[in-house]
Amino acid sequence: MRSIISKSAPSEQKQTPIQAAIHQTEWEFSDSTKRAPTEQDAEWATTFLQNGVVALKVPVADPCYTFLFLTHNGEQWSIAGLADIHIKKAGMLSDKEGLDLPMEQFVVSKLSVNTEDNQAWVFADDKKQIVIGKYPHSTAFSALKNAKVVQMNGIDAWYVKQDTGTLFYYIDQGHVVWIAGNLSERELQSLAASLPNAAVYSFPFAKPKGS
């Protein structure tokens, strides 16, 4: 794939994260052909308060994913950031740096969503995709509907199974930390338990490379 093209779309086509993702993006391939994503390309999607993430699988030979980060302004969903992930053996990592990732090799990408304080890390192999995010906890919020309360390291955390994705989140050291992806509840909890303090510089990595 050569590039991802951003497009405008009317409000009625941006009422869900998946709608907004497929109507505001277009893929351009190496042979110069173009194709807009469809709902069938969505591997999973999750929403968290005014935030959303959609993982789209690009229809190319090598596994390739487009992760779209969206925000809701009360009327519609808009794209706030994206990560383009190519799964190639030559570029995959194996040092998890203390993270309990449910894959042996992976590709990772970091980005800021809207502001420098709203950070996200994407981890992926050819089967599983994970997003770890954190942003300052500045306003009170209620647990999501149908959220399951889980005790973790002496604090409350919440697990939510949504239509196509799963979500785990908690508040730590003045930050909201959240994990989303196509993971099981056990995988999400194990990964969350391996994260360091949200305020440390190395977050989300618990150990230096090679240790």
Task: State the pLDDT at residue 1.
Answer: 61
> Measured on CA atoms in the order 198, 201, 202, 206, is the torsion positive or negative?
negative
How far apart CA 205 and CA 211 sit, in angstroms, is 12
* Domain range summary for the chain, segments of one domain joined by +: 3-193
CA distances to 22, 27, 76, 80, 158 from 66, rounded to whole Å, are 11, 10, 21, 13, 26
The whole-model pTM stands at: 0.92
Length of the chain measured in residues: 211
Grouping H, G, I as helix, E, B as strand and the rest as coil, residue 177 is strand
Task: State the pLDDT at residue 49.
Answer: 80
Task: State the pLDDT at residue 211.
Answer: 58
How far apart CA 17 and CA 47 sit, in angstroms, is 8
How do the pLDDT tens digits run along the chain, 211 residues long? 678 888 888 888 889 999 999 999 999 998 889 999 999 999 999 988 888 999 999 988 788 999 999 999 888 999 999 999 999 888 899 999 999 999 999 999 999 998 888 999 999 999 999 999 999 887 776 777 788 999 988 889 999 998 788 999 999 999 999 999 999 999 999 999 999 999 999 999 988 776 5
Task: State the pLDDT at residue 14.
Answer: 87
Beta strands in 107-200 (DSSP E): 107-112, 119-124, 129-136, 148-152, 155-161, 166-172, 175-181
Task: State the pLDDT at residue 85.
Answer: 93
User: Looking up tokens 């999607």, which residue turns up?
Assistant: 45
* Residue pair 81/69 in contact by the 8 Å Cβ criterion: yes
Alpha helical stretches, state H, the chain: 17-23, 185-193
